[in-house]
Structure 1
Amino acid sequence: MSGVAGGYGAGAGFALIVVLFILLIIVGAAYVW
């Protein structure tokens, strides 16, 4: 990853992290409930 893609690469990575974080919260809530 040399960063040539620019905003698209960073945006895709950020979106992926956000999705994984949301899934983690959902799974955690499922275990709590």
Structure 2
Amino acid sequence: MGCNSYGGYGKGNSDFVLIVVLFILLIIVGAHYFK
């Protein structure tokens, strides 16, 4: 990854935060569909 278009803002953390947010969304959606 590492595709930063923020001018170096949050250089290493932007991808990590994005992955965490997507992971949490997957858990939430999974909890709804796989009750």
TM-score w.r.t. the length of structure 2 is 0.65
Higher helix share: 1
> C-alpha root-mean-square deviation of aligned residues, in Å?
1.5
Gaps in structure 1 of 5+ consecutive residues: none
Give matches, 1:9-20, under 5 Å. Answer: 9-20=14-25
Equivalent residue number for residue 6 of structure 2: 2
Query: How many residues end up aligned between the 2 structures?
Result: 30
Whole-angstrom distance in 2 between the partners of 1:10 and 1:24 = 21
TM-score w.r.t. the length of structure 1 is 0.67
The runs of 4+ residues in structure 1 deviating greater than 3 Å are none
User: Which structure exhibits the higher relative contact order, with contacts defined as CA atoms closer than 8 Å and separated by 6 or more residues?
Assistant: 2
Gaps in structure 2 of 5+ consecutive residues: none
User: What SS does the corresponding residue of 1:25 show, helix, strand or coil?
Assistant: helix
* Percent identity for Structure 1 against Structure 2: 13
